[in-house]
A = this chain, B = another copy of it.
Amino acid sequence: MVRMSAEERRESVIRAATIEFARGGYHGTSTEAIARRVGVSQPYLFRLFPGKKAIFLAAAQRCVEDTIRTFAEASEGLEGEDALHAMGNAYTKVIAERPERLMMQMQMYVAVKAAEEEGDHEFGESVRAGWMRLWDTVHVPLGADVNETTTFMAYGMLVNCLAAMGFPPEHRVWEGLYPSARLKGRLEI
């Protein structure tokens, strides 16, 4: 048994929960599965967090923060097409290396309505606030052009959905997506 501070343990739980929730969603993931991945007993999770929802929320917020940081770091010192290219590449890398982050995003989107109908408006607010922060993060380096930013986010969502569906990288659905292809398409207009 490896002892850790509660704070460190909470970090481990967030990482494990992200992977598990990414796969099964809120209802399809048991606290048992999360605890097993952390390497800790299931009841102990309830010492670290007030309940399952709190764990989901923490994982969701972390996921958004990480994505924001990814774009902020990738676009640092760049603007316009350079920033677009850099952020696109950074996201492609995330998909390959941290697929759970993108699935967690999807899971948190689909969880909003259910939470809202159960009277939990806080969760939806948090998700929307996260989205806006993400939006603003890419908006500035893309030249503060609303259409440009919207298009960038749209491509991101398409990538998320295609990846979620499990299309292999060589499949033709990805053809029109890579930055080079996009730029080529735009230059030909």
**A residues neighboring B (CB under 8 Å):** 23-28, 103, 106-107, 109-110, 112-114, 116-117, 124, 127-128, 131-132, 135, 146-151, 153-155, 157-158, 160-161, 164-167, 173, 175-177, 181-182, 184-186, 189
Report the nearest B residue to A22, measured CB to CB.
B113
- Shortest A180–chain B CB gap in Å is 11
Q: How many copies does the complex hold?
A: 2
* CA gap between A109 and B24 in the complex, in Å: 12
Report the nearest B residue to A116, measured CB to CB.
B166
Contact A24–B114 (Cβ < 8 Å): yes
- Shortest A148–chain B CB gap in Å is 8
* CA gap between A19 and B124 in the complex, in Å: 20
- Shortest A31–chain B CB gap in Å is 14
* CA gap between A135 and B161 in the complex, in Å: 13
